[in-house]
Chains A and B, each alone.
Chain A
Amino acid sequence: MSMSSDPLWSTSHLSVRPYGDYGYLIDVAQAPLIPSLFNFLRSAYVQDRRRPIVDVIPAERSILVISTLPAHDIIDIIEAWDPSVEQGAPARIIDIPTRYNGPDLEEVARQWNVDVQAVIDIHVATTFTCSFCGFLPGFAYLTGLPQHYSVRRKATPRTALSAGSVGLAGAYCGIYPRSSPGGWQILGQTEFKPWRIDRDPPGQIMPGDKVRFSEIS
């Protein structure tokens, strides 16, 4: 009986562990490589009509592959990935017009040790990248803020944040696709709809996309 979960395969920057009957969890040492590996695996999924790869789920420091393929085939696919090659379509840049009227602007300003206008300026000047989606359908985890601008979540989460709330948690920025309880620090509000069930795909911000916020009054 095996008590450990040794990696099936590893390199200096990747390791692959089995996850249940059909999962492979790929730990990625360098988070910025995740969109490239995600796009590579996703194109392998889209191109093979047999659909042996059922899903590819990127997260903060890992990618989960759900597949009926045996381990050696999955490892062959991963080995074919070249991180220096641009994967998939060039990143789109999505503009998010935002009204900076959020209830937590002052708290973020205190945590950053700047004034409220500087919070807005820093947020607008940052080019974010969608690292992964989760939490709610269409909720994109946007990275790009330097680590020293990480913010603590609300001590007590709000019971209802409205759809379109733009907030920060840790070094992530996110837009609430629908009304939900949440502990993120809210900077403002946008009309942008991250989740549109009438579109294909319904998620309007996908892993790898670039996102910029612009201030509207």
Chain B
Amino acid sequence: MTSQTKRSITLTETHSLTTIQDLGRTGLGFLGVPSSGALDRGAFLRANRLVGNHPSCAAIETTYFGVSFIAGSECTVAVTGALCRVELNQRASSWGVPLALRPNDVLRIGAAQQGVRAYLAINGGIDGESYFGSSSTDLLSGVGPAPLAPNDVLMLGNSHGHAPAIDLAPYLGPGEQPLLRVHLGPRSEYFNVQEQARFLGQRWQISSSSNRTALRLHGSNPLSYQGPELPSEGIVTGAIQIPHDGQPIVFLADHPVTGGYPVLGTVCDLDLDHCAQLRPGSTVMFQSTPTCSRDLLMRSATHHY
């Protein structure tokens, strides 16, 4: 079923934020290690499903710019996440479907046309070195493999040989007028009713300094707040921290485990994937929601599928 020789691909083009990601490492926050992992988990999981992989298999995450590689052996690949041009041996090929590659085939993924981060999954997954149960590159703390570079040879895991569970992934980007649902708290009492209304009532622009650590937002009406100096406290992915300048910061997968500014609200887990795809210069609004999506974290945070 699977070849005895180790399968691999060789990268020919990478950019500064081309990294290996999986579902991240959990349970190490008390040591100061963020969870890391694919920013757009939904797109990451769809890529793995398209090639018949276990959901935890490591894949490649790109940021705006694409990636190219030469297949060292037969493999099945799929590209999801940001919409981008896919070329197989210099001919237009398809995004969001499984592609069968033969040895020496060249696959090129172009720059993102919509969204920011694309995912490239390969059947068998990337068999990278595991750091505390994950192959994810954590750019904040330096845990995990280095960002990818041209001429890197990536070994592939054994393919289970399962037929893909799906054969087409739709584009599920944040849309033209993205709205992120938030649970207010835990420090919303630092903000009076007018400031909370100001937060929910304006369009926030995504700053170009956004990265895997955080989305940095800019609004024409920055928030203000009063209250005692807050001692540093644990922060969760999706936490919206308001520093003294009143411009919100939304923490993403590579966030520091603690922070010292009040957290006004937290982006609903269901909407975190959109944060991965918001382009600098675009705008976003927040909507308060009381409901929870607890069942989904079962999947993403504990790795039990």
A residues adjacent to B (C-beta < 8 A): 1-5, 17-23, 25, 38, 42, 45, 51-52, 54-64, 66, 68, 70, 132-139, 178, 197, 201-203, 206-207
Decide if B31 touches A64 in the complex (CB within 8 Å): no
Instruction: Report Cα–Cα, A70/B226, bound state, in Å.
Output: 32
**B232-A21 in contact (CB<8A):** no
**Does B152 make an interface contact (CB < 8 A)?**
no
Taking A23-B234, A59-B231, A136-B141 as given, write out 19 further A-B residue pairs in contact, using a Cβ cutoff of 8 Å, ordered by the A residue number: A1-B288, A2-B290, A4-B184, A21-B183, A21-B268, A22-B301, A23-B266, A25-B233, A25-B234, A38-B30, A57-B30, A57-B257, A59-B233, A62-B231, A64-B233, A133-B31, A134-B257, A137-B143, A207-B30
8 Å CB contact of B29 from A51, A62, A66, A178 = A66
Q: Which residues of B contact A59 (CB under 8 A)?
A: 231-234, 258
Interface presence of B1 (CB below 8 A): no
* A63 to B268 Cα, complex, angstroms: 21
Q: Which residue of A20, A64, A135, A203 has the most chain B CB atoms within 10 A of its CB atom?
A: A20
A137 x B233 contact (CB < 8 A): no
Q: Which residues of A contact B196 (CB under 8 A)?
A: 3
A sample of 27 cross-chain residue pairs with beta-carbon separation below 8 angstroms, ordered by A number, consists of A1-B288, A1-B290, A3-B188, A3-B196, A4-B185, A4-B188, A5-B186, A18-B185, A19-B185, A20-B267, A21-B269, A21-B294, A22-B236, A23-B234, A23-B266, A25-B186, A45-B27, A54-B27, A55-B27, A55-B28, A55-B29, A56-B30, A64-B29, A64-B233, A64-B235, A134-B256, A135-B258
| A5 surroundings in chain B (CB, below 8 A) | 184-189
Quote the shortest CB–CB distance from B180 to chain A (angstroms): 12
Query: DSSP majority for the A interface?
Result: loop
A57 touches B132 (CB 8 A): no
Contact A21 B31, CB 8 Å, known A2-B184, A60-B232:
no
B residues sitting closer than 8 Å to A (CB atoms) are 26-33, 131-132, 141-143, 183-189, 193, 196, 231-236, 238-239, 256-258, 263, 266-269, 288, 290, 292-294, 296-298, 301-302, 304
The 8 closest A-B CB pairs, nearest first, are A5-B185, A64-B234, A20-B266, A60-B231, A57-B234, A134-B258, A203-B31, A17-B186
Contacts of B131 in A (CB 8 A): 197
Q: How far is the CA of A202 from the CA of B30 in the complex (A)?
A: 11
Contacts of B288 in A (CB 8 A): 1-3
How many A-B residue contacts, CB cutoff 8 Å?
151
Would you call A202 and B132 a contact (CB within 8 A)? yes
Closest to A22 in B: B297
- Chain A residues contacting B234 (CB-CB under 8 Å) are 23, 25, 57-59, 62-64
What residues on A are CB-neighbors of B27 within 8 Å? Answer: 45, 51, 54-55
Q: Are the CB atoms of A17 and B185 closer together than 8 Å? A: yes
Task: Name the residue on A nearest B187 (C-beta).
Answer: A5
Pick the residue among A1, A54, A61, A197 that contacts B302 (CB under 8 A): A54
Question: B174: shortest Cβ distance to chain A, in Å?
Answer: 18
User: Which residues of B have CB within 8 Å of A19?
Assistant: 185-186, 236, 239, 263, 266
Q: In the complex, what's the smallest C-beta–C-beta distance from A178 to chain B, in angstroms? A: 7
> Whole-angstrom distance between the alpha carbons of A38 and B30 in the complex?
9
In the bound complex, residues from chain B placing their C-beta under 8 Å from that of A42 are: 30
Closest A residue by C-beta to B295: A68
Q: Indicate which residue in A2, A60, A178, A202 contacts B31 across the interface (CB closer than 8 Å).
A: A202
Which of A22, A42, A59, A70 lies at the interface centre, i.e. has the most chain B CB atoms within 10 A of its CB?
Answer: A22
Residues of A within 8 A of B297 (CB): 21-22, 54, 68
Report the Cα distance A17→B268, complex, angstroms.
16
| A18:B28 contact, CB within 8 angstroms | no
Give A151 to B141 CA distance when docked, in angstroms: 26
Please indicate the chain B residues that have their CB under 8 angstroms from the CB of A207 in the complex.
30
* B residues near A55, Cβ cutoff 8 Å: 26-30
Bound form: Cα–Cα A64–B256 in Å: 13
Task: Give Cα A132 to B257, complex, Å.
Answer: 11
> What A residues does B239 contact at CB under 8 A?
19-20
Min CB gap B246→A, angstroms: 18
* Distance A2 CA – B258 CA, assembled complex (angstroms): 26
Q: Which residues of B contact A63 (CB under 8 A)?
A: 234
- Residues of A within 8 Å of B142, CB to CB, are 137, 178
Check if A134 sits within 8 Å of B32, measured CB to CB: yes
* Given known A5-B189, A59-B258, contact A137–B266 (CB-CB < 8 A): no
Q: State whether B302 touches A51 (Cβ < 8 A).
A: yes
